[in-house]
Amino acid sequence: MALPLAYTVRNIAVRRASALFTALGIAMTVAVFAGVLSLRAGFENVYMPRGNQDVAIYLRPGATSEGESGIQREQADILVKERPEILRDDEGRPLAAAETFLAVFLDKLDGGKTNVPLRGVQPMSIPLRGDQLHITSGRWMEFGSDEVVVGQRLAARMQHCQVGETLVLNLTPFLVVGLMDSPTAESGEIWGDVERMMEALERPVFQRVIARVRPDTDFAALAEEMKHDARVPVAVSSERAYLGKQTTATGGMLQFLALFLTAVMGVAAVLGSMNTMLASVAARTHEVGVLLAIGYSRASVFTAFLIESALIGLLGGALGLLIALPFDGLQTGLTNFNTFTDVSFAFTLTPALALQSFVLAFGLGLLGGALPAFRASRLRPVEALREL
Amino acid sequence: MATPWLLVARHLRAHWLRSGLTMLALTVAMFLFCFLISLVTSLSSAVTAAATDRVIVQSAVSLFVALPKDYQPKIEAIPGVEQVTKFQWFGGYYQKPENFMGQFGVDHEVFLDMYRNEIGITEALALDGATASGDDVNLTPVVRGAGAGAAAVAAMAADRRAAIVGEGLARDFKWKVGDTLPITGTIFAKRDGSAWDFNVVGIYRPLKSSMDDRTMFFRYDYLDETLAADGATGPKGVGVYCVNVAPGHDPEAVIAGIDALFSNGPQATLTTTEAAFQAGFVSMMGNLPFFVGTIGGAVVFAVVFSVINTMLMSGRQRMHETGILKALGFRNGALARLMLGESLLLSLLGGGLGVLLAVVLATPLRYLLGAFLPNYFVAASTVWLALGVTLFIGLVAGITPAIVAARLRPTAALRSEG
């Protein structure tokens, strides 16, 4: 015979102050868990999931990110004109662009400097990004002139980045003529004509070639082939694979932080909840004696106390998510330690993360309730009834 | 009548499970609190411990734009400049890309002297015995202790591929003086695709928290000559110049002098104090220190409730006994002190253990954090802060039941069931 759920719920209601204290302990754990992981989710969401499988990135052999890479002009020309896997548009032009990349110092609106990705692009760079990338105000830069377009998410956090303002790169002033937006990392970049950038920064080398390739391209085979190419040895990978490798350092750090904090705070929360449940059992010793005496099984007493603890856990989970929820969508920035540039993104509390938080809260509640529930179920009715 | 303090210990022992659980929760919470605060203080310690007489010259455009090599004599000519060394970020890895670490090419003639307050050489290759060592690495002659610094300078001068590594790296990768390290360059790739070879001639220990123990310093001219001979590809030039300001000169004047000199290019410079330079790296962490601090607050907040809960329970269970003590003639104050004392003892035992754990585990934690935070340490101020917070928790948790105990009327208390 199982004890009705209403019995358990009523018990929580009677001891609501101490139940709430316990739930708050669990809530803090869940909030930290969900908060740090939604930071990571938002950060990583800018990268790999946005990468295309039919876009290829060519870097210098051995380079793991653009900042380390370098491709000479002649090499880039050969790649763009001759690679058979690169698609062409209706007019026969290769769908490929050679780009430069540099992390430049920019002043943050709230003070301090940070490293911001600056990309020199060719006209084909824009159609290559497809429909995702679009202008939200102003216009695209004129190729051949000292103009730049700034990513919307970046412009919101940096000085001198609004349309009509001027950004000085080394000694050359560039006019901001537009803002661009995209769900990808481009929304945190500054774009200008690659030729003008190279001249202003005195860096005559491209960092990468990006190209739309045939959808059936076998990247593993292509990478192996091009690694030992006699004229232009390069490291080639799909954009998706490339972006996946750009989050290892910062993503790993956030992952470690989340797991470590959750583990330690979880232990504290379980200890707290164990205490509360022990008190709950102690205060109801007489009552448990009655239940056992009138024929409720030890298993159902055990279950009733376990459910009580699990419910407190779920309450904590809900409270914790309530604390973490306001962060969802909040814009923030973090340094990507693979590329050493500032990345603009928003906290993203994914449904999967919310579910994991509830599972965590439920688990913490169960853990805290197991020992006290076992104690309650082992009480001897005769002695329990003697307690008042 | 005096306060019967023995009762405090007896009460805690009578409810050993509850006391133990609460104490453990406090231990865990205060350990975490210390860890989080230490994360933030360790991060910013590079700023506070930075040398006040050193300025850093970098490109005004980007951390990744090199400055021309011919800037060095021009900087050295500026009044107030004592010594200058190049710092060239190498960005290589040992065996696999996960083993990343800082590697800098420096001017070996001046570097160890300029950084004598930051870098202490613990072991160095002894040059005079080098021929006797043969091929057996175990016989590599090593100088330890006082003479190691001078031996390292000599060994650096004798070998173009010489390198000095931090003791953290030496420990993790089992490097010894005399080892040859193959380091794969990601920025500077050898033409033939091979790794760069560096010979360990010294191991250093950081003397200040602005220096970590996971960095390798090698000779800039080895890199420069290989690039010049076209044996490798990569940016030519210098990442940053570190400048020691001569005693008695104002670093701000030196900063202004350097930046004015290069304001018309070819590369504009951004010269800052070492503290400001380090602060730039800290600010790259974005809001992370703020988040971590918030979490530390949340931890304390959560555990306060847990202890309050315990003390309230303890107070409720003790009404009958309080009545007896009052009837025996113990004063209200004594009873309040008993309650408060129990709360304080509980939290100081639990919290103190947590703080102790944080101090004892600081070194293993630093190894665990590895390259993310190579200079993790628990500051004395953090210990005091944590103990203060512990005391505060004990006071807050004990105050309500203490007042209740003091106000209790003996007759009512005796009537309640114990």
Please identify which residue in the block is written with the tokens 């022990």. A278
**Token pair of A29, please?**
């754990």
* Dihedral (CA of B55, B61, B62, B67) sign: negative
Contacts of B65 in chain A (CB under 8 A): 102, 170, 201, 203
CA nearest to A272 within chain B: B306
Predicted confidence (pLDDT) per residue in A165-201, tens digit? 999 888 889 999 999 998 888 888 999 999 999 988 8
Query: What are the pLDDT digits (tens) for A305-361?
Result: 999 999 999 999 999 999 999 988 888 777 887 777 888 788 899 999 999 999 999
Say what the pLDDT of residue B327 is. 85
Q: Which of B63, B185, B295 sits opposite A32 (nearest CB)?
A: B295
Cβ–Cβ gap B283/A268 under 8 Å? no
Q: pLDDT by residue (tens digit) across B286-305?
A: 667 777 888 788 778 777 77
**What is residue B1's predicted lDDT score, i.e. its pLDDT?**
62
Highest mean pLDDT among A16-20, B339-343, B369-373: B339-343
pLDDT of A139: 94
Mean pLDDT of all residues in A285-292: 89
With a CB cutoff of 8 Å and minimum separation 6, the contacts of A323 are A27, A28, A31, A35
Distance, in Å, from the CA atom of A363 to the CA atom of A354, rounded to the nearest integer, reads 14
Mean pLDDT to the nearest integer, B270-297: 80
Q: Where would I find the beta strands (DSSP E) of B137-264? A: 142-144, 162-166, 180-185, 189-190, 196-206, 215-219, 232-233, 240-245
ipTM of the complex: 0.74
Work out the average pLDDT over A272-288: 85
Most A CBs within 10 A among B61, B299, B367, hence the mutation to make, goes to: B61
Residue A367, chain B, CB below 8 Å: the answer is: no
Please say if the pLDDT value at position B132 is more than 70.
no
Q: Where does the pLDDT of residue B134 fall: very low under 50, low under 70, confident under 90, or very high at 90 and above?
A: very low
CB contact (8 A) between residue B65 and residue A203: yes
Q: What is the pLDDT of residues B3-41, one digit of tens each?
A: 778 888 888 888 888 888 888 888 988 998 999 899 888
pLDDT of residue B55: 92
- Has residue B161 got a pLDDT over 80? yes
User: What is the pLDDT of chain A when averaged over all its residues?
Assistant: 88
In whole angstroms, give the CA distance from residue B175 to residue A298: 61
The answer to whether B34 and B293 have CB atoms below 8 angstroms apart is no
User: Per the structure block, which two tokens stand in for B12?
Assistant: 């805690």
- Across A75-99, average pLDDT: 89
Mean pLDDT (whole number) for B333-359: 91
Among left, alpha and beta (phi > 0; psi -120 to 50; other), residue B160 is alpha
What is the separation of C-alpha A210 from the centre of its chain, rounded to a whole number of angstroms? 25
Name chain A contacts of B291, Cβ cutoff 8 Å: 35-36, 39
Which percentage of chain A shows pLDDT scores above 70?
99
Q: Which residues of B touch A268 (CB under 8 A)?
A: 25, 28-29, 32, 299, 302-303, 306
Higher per-residue confidence, B209 vs A180: A180
Q: What are phi and psi of B243, to 5 degrees?
A: -120, 120
Q: Which H or E run includes A335?
A: strand A331-336
Which candidate from B186, B193, B372 shows the least CB-CB separation from A253? B372
* Closest among A81, A97, A65 to A232, alpha carbons compared: A81
| Angle, in degrees to the nearest 10, between helices B332-360 and B319-327 | 130
**pLDDT at position B109 over 60:** yes
A121-130, B136-145, B291-300: lowest mean pLDDT where? B136-145
pLDDT at position A34 is 92
Most B-contacting residue of A21, A169, A280, A337 (CB-CB within 10 A), to test interface: A21
Contact present, B314 and B11 (Cβ < 8 Å): yes
Q: Do A22 and B295 touch (CB under 8 A)?
A: no
Q: From CA A234, how far away is CA A236, in angstroms rounded?
A: 6
Closest listed residue to residue B334, CA positions, set B344, B346, B345, B322: B322
The structure's pTM equals 0.78
Q: Is the pLDDT of residue B100 over 50?
A: yes
What average pLDDT score do residues B134-138 get? 50
Tokens encoding B327: 């009837």
Say whether residue A161 is in contact with chain B using an 8 A CB cutoff: no
* pLDDT surpasses 80 at A112: no
Q: Among A122-131, B17-26, B191-200, B275-284, where is mean pLDDT lowest?
A: B275-284
Cα dihedral A102→A106→A110→A111 (10° resolution): 120
Q: Is the pLDDT of residue B339 over 50?
A: yes
Q: In this model, does residue A62 exceed pLDDT 80?
A: no
Of B280, B286, B303, the CB nearest to A333: B286
Contact list in B for residue A340 (CB cut-off 8 A) is 63-64, 284
For residue B133, the model assigns a pLDDT of 45
B58 near B290, Cβ under 8 Å? no
> Does position B228 have pLDDT exceeding 90, yes or no?
no
pLDDT exceeds cutoff 60 at B388: yes
Mean pLDDT of B216-220: 94
Q: Average pLDDT for residues B387-409, to the nearest whole number?
A: 89
What's the CA gap between B126 and B147, in Å, rounded?
A: 10
pLDDT number for residue B262: 87
The set of residues, in sequence order, having a beta carbon less than 8 Å from that of B120 and lying 6+ positions away, is B149, B204, B205, B206, B207
| Band of pLDDT at residue B128, cut at 50, 70 and 90 | low
Q: Report the relative pairing of strands B142-144 and B102-106 from DSSP bridges.
A: unpaired
Give the model's pLDDT for residue B232.
84
pLDDT for A143 beyond 80: yes
**Would strands B92-94 and B180-185 be described as parallel, antiparallel, or unpaired?**
antiparallel
Q: Who wins on pLDDT, B369 or B347?
A: B347
What is the overall mean pLDDT for chain B? 85
Q: pLDDT at residue B137 above 70?
A: no
Among the ranges given (A60-74, A118-132, A141-155), the one the predictor scored with the smallest mean pLDDT: A60-74
Q: How close A89 gets to chain B, by Cα (Å)?
A: 34
**B164 has a pLDDT exceeding 60:** yes
- At A261 the pLDDT is 85
- What the block records as the tokens of B346 is 């509980």
